[in-house]
Amino acid sequence: MSEQITRFDLPQSEIPHAWYNIQADLPRPLPPVLHPGTHQPIGPADLAPLFPMALIMQEVSQDRYIEIPEEVREIYKLWRPTPLMRAYRLEKALDTPAHIYYKYEGVSPSGSHKLNTAVPQAYYNKMEGVQGLSTETGAGQWGTALSQACNFFGLECIVYMVKISYQQKPYRRAIIQTFGAKVTASPSDTTNAGRSILAKDPDSTGSLGIAISEAVEVAATSGGRLKYALGSVLNHVLTHQTVIGQEALKQLEIAGEYPDVVIGCAGGGSNFAGVALPFVQKNLTEGKTTRIIAVEPAACPSLTRGTYAYDFGDTVGMTPLVKMHTLGRDFIPAPLHAGGLRYHGMASIVCELYDQGLIEAQAIPQLETFSAALQFLRAEGIVPAPEPSHAIAATIREALAAKAAGEKRLILFNLCGHGHFDMAAYDAFLSGQLVDYEYPQEQIEAALAALPQI
Ligand SMILES: *Cc1c(COP(=O)(O)O)cnc(C)c1O
């Protein structure tokens, strides 16, 4: 028997030199983004108060490849290329003929894939003379990544952290502060947006949508000193994450394999897109037939049960209108532990791929997710974050389906972050305190009624 190889590494010279922009290959272009007041398509100038021009141009670029600046690639060398692992021990535990591979983004200094876009976002802002960035964070992974990236480039960093996470995750708050960022629990009394929410509900525990409103307001009213950064959803963010899938393609080539199925969890869609888009490209341009699956929590099923319509990206209604699968901007998440997956909308690119039948989507309940995480960590030794545990649960479903069908199926999933800051969630699971929560149909219908009329 030949020796089993479990880890496929690339040399640093193989860090991609360009990000892949799927807009060049989409069969149908993305729907236009609309001005919140006029409902007319917006242009680059409309976004200039919030983002540096380099990122605005990437947002609308139709170029297939966007060169990665050398300074960004140098910082990527702190953790890239990330390993591709073959999960032999999980395969054995499942007694499946499937081959299971995962790309491990938890080796980044911030512990998740978020740093892949935080670094270029900070870089382009610095190049255009911006002094600092404001942002929101839910579970805390994005705040951590952006505070690190701002620190690398000497930028100020202001983070609005969803209040419930601020209270439940003191160590996430602390790590953001160690990198020099200022963290405020949202909703706060530091912005008009926050004050308007608190006037209606003084006990609001917050949401990503509310924190986005606060962070956008701070940048928009700073007179150009500060700009705003978003950790997911936008086209340029998804494009930056394609380093994941590009590396995985090369690593699988070394392993002599090509995936039948590619799986990622989807909150705003960035880590899913990061691993998946280079494989979608192969499907679109080289006749490959890989199934591509986005996995979301049953408690926040924007792709599988949300409406595909124009909605705001935030709760107060300050952002442009984007056509997306949405649960409505007033969405307040159930107490669910996959904090990073609790967003009411979804990236436009992911929604279009889904609408065009180019990807699949699944919603998986919380208890199945944590059971899958335990099965994975006991086999492979890595404690996954609750978010990618959704991808693990879907992978296990696929591996068991392959076993039932007696097929060798090659599955690749993205393990986009470790769970070392999520032990309270594991604690709750182990002590039987977690429950399943199905998003109620009345709330889907209420959200539909409240959508802006376009
Ligand atoms: C932010 C985050 C997510 C959700 O965001 P996506 O844009 O959907 O990737 C999922 N997992 C981890 C570990 C995260 O940090």
DSSP string across 249-264:
HHHHHHHT---SEEEE
Ligand 1 atom index nearest CA of 388: 11
The rounded Å distance from CA 223 to ligand 1 centre is: 31
Q: Which residue's C-alpha comes closest to atom 15 of ligand 1?
A: 141
Taking Cα atoms as reference points, which of 67, 57, 76 lies closest to residue 118? 76
Q: What is the pLDDT of residues 42-58, one digit of tens each?
A: 999 999 999 999 999 99
Arithmetic mean of pLDDT, 175-187? 98
Q: Which residue's C-alpha comes closest to atom 1 of ligand 1?
A: 340
Q: What's the pLDDT score for residue 340? A: 67
Give the chain's length.
454
Contacts of 155 (CB under 8 A, 6+ apart): 122, 125, 126, 130, 131, 132, 133
Taking Cα atoms as reference points, which of 354, 371, 362, 436 lies closest to residue 398? 362
The rounded Å distance from CA 200 to ligand 1 centre is: 30
What rounded mean pLDDT belongs to the chain?
A: 95
| Amino acid, single-letter form, for residue 265 | C
More confident residue, 184 or 329: 184
**3-class DSSP state for residue 102?**
strand
The rounded Å distance from CA 266 to ligand 1 centre is: 7
Ligand 1 atom index nearest CA of 138: 1
Distance of alpha carbon 295 from alpha carbon 397, whole angstroms: 12
CA 303-27-102 angle, 5° bins: 55
Q: Using an 8 Å Cβ cutoff, are 410 and 261 in contact? A: yes
Domain 7-14+69-111+236-448: assigned CATH number: 3.40.50.1100
Q: Which residue's C-alpha comes closest to atom 5 of ligand 1?
A: 267
The rounded Å distance from CA 199 to ligand 1 centre is: 31
Taking Cα atoms as reference points, which of 57, 58, 53 lies closest to residue 21? 58
The rounded Å distance from CA 208 to ligand 1 centre is: 13
pLDDT value at 83 more than 80 = yes
Ligand 1 atom index nearest CA of 145: 15
Provide, rounded to the nearest whole percent, the portion of the chain with pLDDT above 90: 88
The rounded Å distance from CA 447 to ligand 1 centre is: 24
| The token pair that represents 310 in the structure block | 């124009």
Arithmetic mean of pLDDT, 246-271? 98
Residue 337: band (very low, low, confident or very high) from pLDDT cuts 50, 70, 90: low
pLDDT value at 11 more than 90 = yes
| C-beta neighbour count of 209 within 10 angstroms | 27
pLDDT value at 332 more than 80 = no
First to last CA, the chain: 63
Torsions phi, psi for 109 (to 5 deg): -55, -30
The rounded Å distance from CA 295 to ligand 1 centre is: 11
Ligand 1 atom index nearest CA of 267: 8
Q: Using an 8 Å Cβ cutoff, are 252 and 101 in contact? A: yes
Residue 448: band (very low, low, confident or very high) from pLDDT cuts 50, 70, 90: confident
Q: What is the DSSP letter of 77?
A: T
Q: What's the pLDDT score for residue 196? A: 96
| The token pair that represents 168 in the structure block | 């439940």
Q: Which residue's C-alpha comes closest to atom 13 of ligand 1?
A: 417
Arithmetic mean of pLDDT, 181-186? 98
Q: What's the pLDDT score for residue 318? A: 85
Alpha helices, H only, 381-451: 386-405, 423-430, 441-449
| Amino acid, single-letter form, for residue 378 | R
Q: Which residue's C-alpha comes closest to atom 2 of ligand 1?
A: 340
Ligand 1 residue neighbourhood (C-beta within 6 Å): 112, 114, 141-142, 232, 265-272, 340-341, 385, 387-388, 416-417
| The token pair that represents 28 in the structure block | 């149908």
Arithmetic mean of pLDDT, 380-396? 98
| HSE value, Cβ hemisphere, 13 Å, CA-based, for 272 | 38
**3-class DSSP state for residue 184?**
strand
Distance of alpha carbon 106 from alpha carbon 419, whole angstroms: 9
Q: What is the DSSP letter of 34?
A: B
pLDDT value at 338 more than 80 = no
Using CA atoms in the order 22, 327, 228, 194, what is the torsion angle rounded to 10 degrees?
A: 180
**3-class DSSP state for residue 291?**
strand
Q: Using an 8 Å Cβ cutoff, are 233 and 268 in contact? A: yes
The residue to which tokens 């007179």 are assigned: 223
Q: What's the pLDDT score for residue 333? A: 66
Q: Which residue's C-alpha comes closest to atom 3 of ligand 1?
A: 340
pLDDT value at 289 more than 90 = yes
Ligand 1 atom index nearest CA of 141: 15
Single pTM value for the model: 0.97
**3-class DSSP state for residue 143?**
helix
pLDDT value at 186 more than 80 = yes
Distance of alpha carbon 148 from alpha carbon 122, whole angstroms: 10
Distance of alpha carbon 196 from alpha carbon 202, whole angstroms: 10
Taking Cα atoms as reference points, which of 359, 409, 417 lies closest to residue 389? 417
Q: For residue 251, what are the β-bridge partners?
A: none
**3-class DSSP state for residue 86?**
strand
Q: What is the H or E stretch that residue 137 is in?
A: strand 132-137
Q: For a substitution probing ligand 1, which of 237, 270, 271, 383 has the most ligand atoms within 8 Å of its CB?
A: 271
Q: Residue ranges of the domains in the chain? A: 7-14+69-111+236-448
pLDDT value at 339 more than 80 = no
Q: What is the pLDDT of residues 107-138, one digit of tens each?
A: 999 999 999 999 999 999 999 999 999 999 98
Q: What's the pLDDT score for residue 440? A: 87
Torsions phi, psi for 51 (to 5 deg): -130, 155
Q: What's the pLDDT score for residue 1? A: 57
